[in-house]
């Protein structure tokens, strides 16, 4: 049984909205990173800034980001179907009230003990860098309360398949960070970066609030934690929280190892991760978010065949986009880093470090893009426990290799990251196949073979053009490096597009579906305005 036209339309419409705003958000993220790199360079100052994110991110990522959405959305949909919208809104109010109280308490504890916690996160920092990181951390901790409320509202919008305001929120967040860099740092110093984070968090919340209110939400001062559905969300939340704790701990342990390397290494790693995250969010996360409500609905209505068809189609679509991007990222890593970040205080040594790390991350791009989708397959069952096993396994692999490969420096960090990511994905797929039986692997492999061949040929052409362009352009200038990378990249893309069209891959039809949905969406916006 194939996905219906209506379900394809829902997925494509949701995916294009999320992907479009994700591209905008990520482009602003690149502007943000370029401003950071040109202003501070890959230095101890920027190391302190990125280290300051670790404690707030640990609290927020563990208890809110991802965990709340996957626990809340299935329960919200079920409650709305069984008891009506009023009871669903009551659940939202209860969760919102307890979430704000919990995050506020966590932020206060973090602020009080920041001078003890930050040295654990970055033990290799100098006393001056640690002191700066503590100051930034204390201010950034306030943002998790705002982000918590905003994330819950975003989960409501996902459940209702209202993706526009949800997808726009990260754009406002990045604008807040850019505001801090451009307008606050010149007057108040690097602490302006932390104020930018706080301002961005309020933008993230305020852009989603009107959309939720328009749906009919009215806040209620209810704190009844004995409610059946509140308990259900909490029950689903706990295992996912442990899984995210493992993932966040992974990041903290990695940062701790990097802190012992040369100054600027943590900044180089963080900047490479940001570049690496661009295609993951555009292609992997956007499609996973768009299809998740349909996964949940398929299991809610006891239609496992619908789920399998959606799963196979979604995996193939992600692979269709990500495989050529991964190859291009590997081939053009130095050009990408130099063009995006190479200005001001960001010197050639910083470029080499960041490009080296980006090369390793490119090897994990496919697995990192598929993990959000495969994990959501478990959450739709609903099963938030099984992905914890995969997260813990990847944590053990990462830590073991960080210790073993420590003499290799950033190279060891990169190899450990790739191995941990592959472990996570492979274990998730294996456990899902044991749970559901056939996952449509034959269909996936049938599409994977021509995609890999096309991506390999595209990468080979891009590499050849890169070599041919080197003596033609001035590699010491921005224009020269940009021209070399652009021509090589476009050549590779042209080869990939030509081959998949000649081979008539089914995913080409999905592109047409997205194009038609995009035209419809733009027309509706035009009519409204």
pLDDT tens readout for residues 116-146: 999 998 898 889 999 999 999 999 999 999 9
Lowest mean pLDDT among 11-25, 348-362, 470-484: 11-25
CA gap 156, 158 in Å, rounded? 5
pLDDT surpasses 90 at 435: no
5 burial type by CB count under 10 A (0-12 exposed, 13-18 middle, 19+ buried): exposed
Q: Helix, strand or coil for residue 278?
A: helix
pLDDT band at 522 (very low <50, low <70, confident <90, very high): low
pLDDT tens figures, 40-64: 887 888 899 889 988 898 888 777 7
Mean pLDDT confidence for 438-455: 88
- Could you give the angle at the alpha carbon of 317 between the alpha carbons of 314 and 321, nearest 5°? 145
Q: What is the largest CA-CA distance in the chain?
A: 71
Residue-level pLDDT at 400: 95
Q: Helix, strand or coil for residue 494?
A: helix
Residue-level pLDDT at 327: 96
What distance, in Å, lies between the first and last C-alpha atoms of the chain? Answer: 40
Are residues 61 and 70 in contact, defined by beta-carbon separation less than 8 angstroms? no
Lowest mean pLDDT among 79-83, 110-114, 390-394: 79-83
Nearest to 293 by CA among 529, 502, 503, 18: 18
Residue-level pLDDT at 68: 67
pLDDT surpasses 60 at 282: yes
Comparing 515 with 401, the larger pLDDT belongs to 401
Residue-level pLDDT at 1: 40
CA gap 199, 142 in Å, rounded? 11
126 burial type by CB count under 10 A (0-12 exposed, 13-18 middle, 19+ buried): middle
Per DSSP, the residues of 365-382 read: HHHHHHHHHHHHHHHTTT
CA gap 37, 275 in Å, rounded? 13
Residue 479 contacts by C-beta under 8 Å, 6 or more apart in sequence? 473
Nearest to 387 by CA among 236, 280, 254, 232: 236
Mean pLDDT confidence for 485-505: 92
Greatest mean pLDDT among 161-165, 281-285, 292-296, 428-432? 428-432
Q: Helix, strand or coil for residue 125?
A: coil
pLDDT surpasses 70 at 433: yes
Residue-level pLDDT at 4: 47
pLDDT surpasses 70 at 517: no
Residue-level pLDDT at 72: 77
SS (H, E, C) 136-201: HHHHHCCHHHHHHHHHHHHHHHHHCCCHHHHHHHHHHHHHHHHHHHHHHHHHHCCHHHHHHHHHHH
Share the mean pLDDT of the chain.
85
Mean pLDDT confidence for 283-291: 81
Residue-level pLDDT at 77: 78
pLDDT tens figures, 141-193: 999 999 889 988 988 888 787 878 888 888 999 999 999 999 999 999 889 99
pLDDT band at 324 (very low <50, low <70, confident <90, very high): very high
Residue-level pLDDT at 329: 95
CA gap 14, 12 in Å, rounded? 5
Mean pLDDT confidence for 424-430: 94
pLDDT tens figures, 451-471: 999 999 999 999 999 999 988
Residue-level pLDDT at 284: 84
Residue-level pLDDT at 391: 86
Residue-level pLDDT at 272: 92
Q: How far from 219 is each of 63, 91, 209, 216, 239, CA to CA, in Å?
A: 22, 10, 11, 10, 28
């Amino acid at each position: 049984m194939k996905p219906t036209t209506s379900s394809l339309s829902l997925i494509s419409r949701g995916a294009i909205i999320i992907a479009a705003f994700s591209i905008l958000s990520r482009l602003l993220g690149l502007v943000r990173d370029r401003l950071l790199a040109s202003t501070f360079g890959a230095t101890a100052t920027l190391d302190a800034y990125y280290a300051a994110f670790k404690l707030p991110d640990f609290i927020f990522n563990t208890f809110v980001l991802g965990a709340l959405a996957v626990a809340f959305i299935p329960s919200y949909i079920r409650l709305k179907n069984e008891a009506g919208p009023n009871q669903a809104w009551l659940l939202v109010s209860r969760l919102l009230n307890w979430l704000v109280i919990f995050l506020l308490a966590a932020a206060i504890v973090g602020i009080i003990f920041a001078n003890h916690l930050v040295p654990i996160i970055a033990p290799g920092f100098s006393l001056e860098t640690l002191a700066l990181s503590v100051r930034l951390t204390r201010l950034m901790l306030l943002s998790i309360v705002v982000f918590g409320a905003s994330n819950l509202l975003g989960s409501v919008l996902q459940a209702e398949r209202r993706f526009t305001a949800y997808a726009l929120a990260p754009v406002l967040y990045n604008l807040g960070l850019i505001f801090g860099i451009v307008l606050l740092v010149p007057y108040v110093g690097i602490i302006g970066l932390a104020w930018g984070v706080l301002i961005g968090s309020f933008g993230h919340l305020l852009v989603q609030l009107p959309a939720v209110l328009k749906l009919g939400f009215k806040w209620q001062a209810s704190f009844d934690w004995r409610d059946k559905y509140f308990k259900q969300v909490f029950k689903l939340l706990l295992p996912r929280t442990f899984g995210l704790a493992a993932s966040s701990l992974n990041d903290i342990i990695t940062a701790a190892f990097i802190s012992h390397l040369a100054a600027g290494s943590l900044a180089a790693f963080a900047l490479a991760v940001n570049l690496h995250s661009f295609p993951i969010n555009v292609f992997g996360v956007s499609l996973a978010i768009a299809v998740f409500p349909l996964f949940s609905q398929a299991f809610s209505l006891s239609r496992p065949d619908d789920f399998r068809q959606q799963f196979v189609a979604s995996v193939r679509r992600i692979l269709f986009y990500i495989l050529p991007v991964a190859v291009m990222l590997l081939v053009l890593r130095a050009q990408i880093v130099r063009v995006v970040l190479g200005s001001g205080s960001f010197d050639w040594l910083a470029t080499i470090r960041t490009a080296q790390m980006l090369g390793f991350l490119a090897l994990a791009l496919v697995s990192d893009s598929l993990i959000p989708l495969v994990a959501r397959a478990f959450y739709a069952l609903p099963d938030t426990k099984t992905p914890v096993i995969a997260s813990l396994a990847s944590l053990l692999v990462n830590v073991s290799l960080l210790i073993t490969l420590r003499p290799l420096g950033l190279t060891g960090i990169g190899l450990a990251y790739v191995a941990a990511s592959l472990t996570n994905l492979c274990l998730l797929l294996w456990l899902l196949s044991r749970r559901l039986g056939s996952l449509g692997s034959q269909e996936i492999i049938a599409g994977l073979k021509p995609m890999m061949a096309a991506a390999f040929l595209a990468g080979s052409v891009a590499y050849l053009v890169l070599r041919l362009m080197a003596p033609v352009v001035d590699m010491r200038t921005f224009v020269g490096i940009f021209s070399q990378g652009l021509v090589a990249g476009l050549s590779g893309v042209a080869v990939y597009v030509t081959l998949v069209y000649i081979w008539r891959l089914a995913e080409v039809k999905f592109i047409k579906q997205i194009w038609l949905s995009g035209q419809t969406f733009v027309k509706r916006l035009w009519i409204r305005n």
